[in-house]
Amino acid sequence: MSLDTFPIRRVDHVRFYVNNARQSAYYYKNAFGFDIVGFCGLETGQQNEVDYVVQQGDVRFVFSAPIRPGHEMGRLIGEHGDFVQDISFEVDDVDEAFKKAVDRGARPAREPFTLSDENGEVRLASIHTYGEVIHTFINRDNFKGRFLPNFKDMDEKGVPIGLKDVDHIVGNVELGKMNYWVDFYANVLGFEQIISFDDQDISTDYTALMSKVMANGNQKVKFPINEPAEGKKKSQIDEYLEFFGGAGVQHVALLTDDIVKTVTELRNRGVLFLHVPMTYYEEVPERVGAIDEDLETLAGLGILIDRDDEGYLLQLFTKPITDRPTLFYEIIQRKGAKSFGKGNFKALFEAIEREQELRGTL
Ligand code: FE2
């Protein structure tokens, strides 16, 4: 591993622009078991938008919504539906990170600035990445509050389901743009490519896509970047790009130490997952080898199993959680595997294609 030229501690939070932040927070509390921990809005002196902060383990999401007509956020939500607008990185030095990123070619979104209240101060700055997504650099070493200055603490507890952290966040970009954004993460943010999948790896009878996975220096931030590839029918990436209106975040993968418990809870709470045919499980023992879990239990919950050189992983995917067939979640448990396998793509994509067929968008 070469020298880390752009130290990033971790994903600090993921911000979503949504139509109704209050209802989003309620959904994530009741379906995914997040605690609602913070609020900013009219009652705290913020005049034009509201923010709700939810947390479980080290996963922190922020839901932001406009509360007046003519707001730019409203225009973006009208264009894209609810979407991931900011993947924020915790860094040691915000000013240095911003300067370095811009010097290396990043398009600035917000110059460095400070927010402060009686709990201290937080330094922030942002750069643009693909689509409407930004990366905010944040440092709250001199802040004693929960999230950001001027937020009111909330203590609406969810019933947790074992979500520990963000494992990876996937971006879908336009045809021919994958390598552009791979280079962006390599050259601007010092990421390294840890694996790539070509259209031979990731194809079904109908559709194909290409994917490269970029990771930061400490490997805590992993960003697969997908682009569509030529196939007989419209790929899921094309469907995303059409309904989203350009490049954007396709899915957020959430890490658990007990995927059986996590998925059982999610299913009980009404979260819908892609259907995996039972035939998938017939070939698992040969493809993956011995696993700790009971295969029948995994099959009953529709959990997929894959492996890399170092171990195996368990994962599954929700159906889109928005009205548009765009954003979904992955639940993942790692048993030694630090990267991604090839074995699940075909099963996953055939499952997605069955859904596309129902939507008439294949
Ligand atoms: Fe994923």
* Residue 221 pLDDT greater than 90, yes or no: yes
The pLDDT of residue 349 is 76
What is the Å distance from ligand 1's center to 239 Cα?
17
Mean pLDDT along residues 240-268: 97
What is the Å distance from ligand 1's center to 150 Cα?
34
* Residue 3 pLDDT greater than 90, yes or no: no
What is the Å distance from ligand 1's center to 350 Cα?
15
Q: Which residues surround ligand 1, an ion (CB under 5 A)?
A: 253, 330
* Residue 2 pLDDT greater than 90, yes or no: no
* Paired tokens of 8: 């990033």
What is the Å distance from ligand 1's center to 216 Cα?
16
* Residue 167 pLDDT greater than 60, yes or no: yes
The pLDDT of residue 353 is 82
What is the Å distance from ligand 1's center to 332 Cα?
8
What is the Å distance from ligand 1's center to 116 Cα?
36
Mean pLDDT along residues 256-270: 97
What is the Å distance from ligand 1's center to 69 Cα?
36
Closest by CA to 213, choosing from 185, 248, 246, is: 185
What is the Å distance from ligand 1's center to 14 Cα?
16
What is the Å distance from ligand 1's center to 284 Cα?
19
What is the Å distance from ligand 1's center to 201 Cα?
15
Question: When comparing pLDDT for 263 and 195, which is higher?
Answer: 263
The pLDDT of residue 321 is 96
Confidence tier at 356 by pLDDT (50, 70, 90):
confident
Using the 8-state DSSP alphabet, how is residue 48 labeled?
S
CB-based contacts of 273, cutoff 8 Å, min separation 6: 263, 266, 267, 302, 316, 317, 318, 319
What is the Å distance from ligand 1's center to 248 Cα?
14
What is the Å distance from ligand 1's center to 166 Cα?
11
Phi/psi at 118 (5° precision) = -65, -15
What is the Å distance from ligand 1's center to 339 Cα?
10
What is the Å distance from ligand 1's center to 213 Cα?
10
> How does pLDDT run across 291-333, given as a tens digit for each residue?
999 999 999 999 999 998 899 999 999 999 999 999 999 999 9
What is the Å distance from ligand 1's center to 171 Cα?
10
What is the Å distance from ligand 1's center to 334 Cα?
12
* Residue 1 pLDDT greater than 60, yes or no: no
CA 212 from chain centre, in angstroms, equals 15
> How does pLDDT run across 186-219, given as a tens digit for each residue?
999 999 999 888 877 777 777 778 899 999 999 9
Indicate the pTM of the whole model: 0.95
Question: What is the C-alpha to C-alpha distance for residues 51 and 100, in angstroms, rounded to an integer?
Answer: 29
> How does pLDDT run across 61-109, given as a tens digit for each residue?
999 999 999 999 999 999 999 999 999 999 999 999 999 999 999 999 9
Contact 248, 172 (CB under 8 A): yes
What phi-psi label fits residue 279: left (phi over 0), alpha (psi between -120 and 50 degrees) or beta? alpha
What is the Å distance from ligand 1's center to 328 Cα?
10
What is the Å distance from ligand 1's center to 358 Cα?
23
Question: What is the C-alpha to C-alpha distance for residues 73 and 46, in angstroms, rounded to an integer?
Answer: 15
What is the Å distance from ligand 1's center to 168 Cα?
6
* Paired tokens of 277: 């045919």
What is the Å distance from ligand 1's center to 254 Cα?
9
Confidence tier at 140 by pLDDT (50, 70, 90):
very high
Confidence tier at 256 by pLDDT (50, 70, 90):
very high
What is the Å distance from ligand 1's center to 115 Cα?
34
- Give me the chain's average pLDDT, please: 94
Confidence tier at 127 by pLDDT (50, 70, 90):
very high
What is the Å distance from ligand 1's center to 97 Cα?
27
Q: Which residues pair with 156 in a beta bridge?
A: 36
User: Which of 115-124, 162-171, 346-355 bottoms out in mean pLDDT, i.e. has the lowest?
Assistant: 346-355
